[in-house]
Structure 1
Amino acid sequence: MSSNIRGMRHGTVDALHRAVALHAPPKADRSGLELPLFALRAGDRKERVYEDANCRVHIIPSTLGAATQHDKDVLLFCISQLVAARNRGLTIIPRTVVIPMAAILTYCRRGTGGADYERLMHALTRLRGTTIRTNRITGGREITDGFGLIDSYRIVRSQKGQRQEEVEVTLSEWLCNAIDDLDVLTLDPSYFALRSGLDRRLYELARKFCGNQRSWPVKVTTLLHKSGSRSCEKDFRRKLRQIIEADSLPSYRLELDSRGDRVTILARAPDRPSAAVSMKPSIGCQGASAVWARIVENL
């Protein structure tokens, strides 16, 4: 989409999102699945760095910790609703959306009690506070960009009951650009039923790199790096064996070779589906430099 059209969306509030499409399939931005931008559990305050020859990605948490895999539900909801609105004819993707808070909780299979609203507010704070900083070399120069997972949020409460009614979220430009370009992947709705952050991250990697292919073989060390797990190799293998035993990932299952050095992620047979939605095939692996160069070019 041309830059002048993209520029028109700044400061726009999308009124379509007051009528939420609760049955819209979950969507994730494809590029954002490349690296573990989200912590696997709450309270992780350690900075993380991922790099290759041409690009360095630095994830900097706030004092409340990094945004988690469960905090990401807010972004998945926003992407899903914007894609649904785009499919209904929306031509300019707005950066700011107005969302009933109860709709987010319901869509993501959460409760709607006071504690659930409080956790959602903490999630928004961590999403706002986590900073992504990229360094890339291009044309003999080093370029540093910094941006957040969301730009801002505003919660509107009922004056009588002090109940949070809706939230206004301003998304990052790179995320809106991904929606503009339909650079998204459909997730199985059962993703929201996965309670472990590692289970969620492994499903994301399976969805991106295996897609609708029959299988994706990967070294345990590579999977450990891409997962964002803080575990040592030994503990990570133990967790993988537990996940294999539980066999709870939607659409995919895992196999570990006899030496424990390689994992194969396999798509489940069509006659034994766990997926509730159809999914587009993955475009395959991309290096961190290619993915993040494309993101920052659109900022």
Structure 2
Amino acid sequence: MLDLTKKSRKYNLKTLRPHKHKQLEFFIADDVDISTFRDELASMEHPFFALKAGDVRDREYKNGAVTVTVKPTSSGLATVFDKDIWIYAISKLLEAINDHQPISRTIAFTPYDFFVTTNREIGGRTYKELEKSLERLAGTRITTNIIYSSDKQESVGFGLIDSWRILDEKKGKLEIGMVEITLPDWLYEGITKEKILKISPDYFRIRKAIDRRLYEIARKHCGNQHEFSISLEKLHLKTGSTATSSKFKFNIKQLAKTNDLPDYEILFDPLTEKVTFKNRQQDISSAEVSRKKEKGKREVFKIKKSLLNK
């Protein structure tokens, strides 16, 4: 007679596949070195994160069939800089998956490893900022119809992290002062299904939140292609910027002037009000030709404008 005890059943199951990703109670991020940074696809394309701290307004975003609603905590929406915690966790987990190591939705790490990995200063103020970031991530709620699970759902709701804590006592391999976060199922599902893209390690050196968002959008849409163009109005919507149209245009012009975004060159055409991101992998001569063409267009635009004003 077949032994149906719980222990024997565990080893005699024939209808279920084995776990592709072994589960741990918690995953220690410090034990994994990041060779490539990665970001989550949907949040690269759509504005899950605010560009500045203290924004307490609900947001509703629609782009075609995609809907995203973002509700803040009392201390405001999670910001693009708070997202560094997401990118850190995603990158660590993907390294472990690629190295065939067991993973978990709950991740433990030392603040020191996080600060060094994401190019942050190390000091008392930075520790306090980390705690505020965790509060905003846990408090910010997302409702969206972007679904990564195989279940048929019209929409899903989740916090940007499920929970967090800073350990005040040693617990096995976990040391005092380590941070423990639990990622939402939605994000964890996306990681295990590799709904992610590689990003430049220089991402963490980008100073302004708006420039970080522009890099994400360029990486998502341009990727390894030669170029990607988008209207100024639609780009404004995708960034989640609350700036006026004129201020946003000014920011784009400034970035196009400095042109030091990692991986991508940015061009603005004032005639069509289109923004073009170009992959920097193209040869230098063709990039120079592109810049000269854009400069010529700007000069023509100035001449036409001066004639109209006469």
TM score, norm. by length of structure 2: 0.77
Aligned equivalents of 2:50, 2:120: Cα separation in 1: 20
Mapping for residues 141-220 of structure 1, pairs under 5 Å: 143-157=154-168, 165-220=177-232
**Alpha carbons of structure 1 residues 7 and 62: separation in structure 2 relative to 1, 3 Å:** farther
Contact 1:93/1:180 (8 A) holds in 2: no
Among candidates 267, 278, 281, match of residue 266 of structure 1: 278
Candidates 131, 135, 142, aligned match of 1:125: 135
The structure with more strand, counted as a fraction of residues: 1
User: What is the rounded CA distance, in whole Å, between the counterparts of 1:215 and 1:253 in structure 2?
Assistant: 9
CA contact (8 A) 2:32 2:96 kept: no
- Cα separation, 1, equivalents of 2:256 and 2:17: 46
Residue number among 257, 262, 275 corresponding to 2:269 in the alignment: 257
Query: Larger RCO: Structure 1 or Structure 2 (Cα < 8 Å, ≥ 6 residues apart)?
Result: 1
1:283 equivalent in structure 2? none
Which residue of 95, 108, 115 corresponds with 2:105? 95
In 2 relative to 1, CA 5–242 (structure 1 residues): closer, same or farther, beyond 3 Å? Answer: same
Distance 1:196 1:270, change over 3 A: same
5+ unaligned residues in a row in structure 2: which ranges? 1-15, 147-151, 285-310
Distance (Å, rounded) in 2 between the aligned partners of 1:149 and 1:6: 25
Q: Which residues in structure 2 correspond to 1:35-114 (within 5 Å)?
A: 35-52=46-63, 54-90=65-101, 92-114=102-124
Separation (CA, whole Å) in 1 of partners of 2:64 and 2:216: 25
In the alignment, the residues of structure 1 paired with residue 76 and residue 62 of structure 2 have an alpha-carbon distance, to the nearest angstrom, of 22
Output the CA distance in 2 between the equivalents of 1:181 and 1:214. 27
Q: Which amino acid letter does the alignment assign opposite residue 213 of structure 1?
A: Q
Say which SS state the counterpart of residue 211 (structure 1) adopts: coil
| 1:11-68 residue CA offsets vs partner (Å, 9 max, x unmatched) | 72124x24141x4321111122121100011111111101256453210011110000
TM-fit CA distance, 1:209: 0.0
SS at match of 2:167: strand
Match of 1:243 among 231, 245, 255: 255
Distance (whole Å) between structure 2 residues aligned to residue 98 and residue 72 of structure 1: 17
Q: Which has the larger radius of gyration?
A: 2
8 Å contact from structure 1 (residues 117, 164) kept in 2:
no
- Aligned equivalent of 1:294: none
Quote the Cα distance in structure 2 between the aligned partners of 1:182 and 1:26: 13
Is the 1:24–1:81 Cα contact (8 Å) retained in structure 2? no
Deviations 1:234-286 (A, max 9, x none): 111111011111212100011111326111111114556xxxxxxxxxxxxxx
Q: Among the aligned pairs, what percent are the same residue?
A: 34
Which amino acid in 2 is paired with 1:12? E
Q: Does 1:14 align with 2:37?
A: no
Match of 1:30 among 27, 41, 53: 41
Distance in 1 separating the partners of 2:76 and 2:263 = 31
> 1:101 deviation in Å?
1.1
Structure 2 SS opposite 1:28: strand
Q: Note if contact 1:71-1:127 (Cα within 8 Å) is conserved in structure 2.
A: yes
Q: Aligned-pair distance for 1:166? A: 1.0
Secondary structure class of the residue paired with 2:229: strand
> What amino acid maps onto 2:75 in structure 1?
L
Q: Number of residues paired by the alignment?
A: 260
The change in CA–CA distance for 1:103 and 1:33 in structure 2 (over 3 A counts) is same
Q: Secondary structure at the match of 2:267?
A: strand
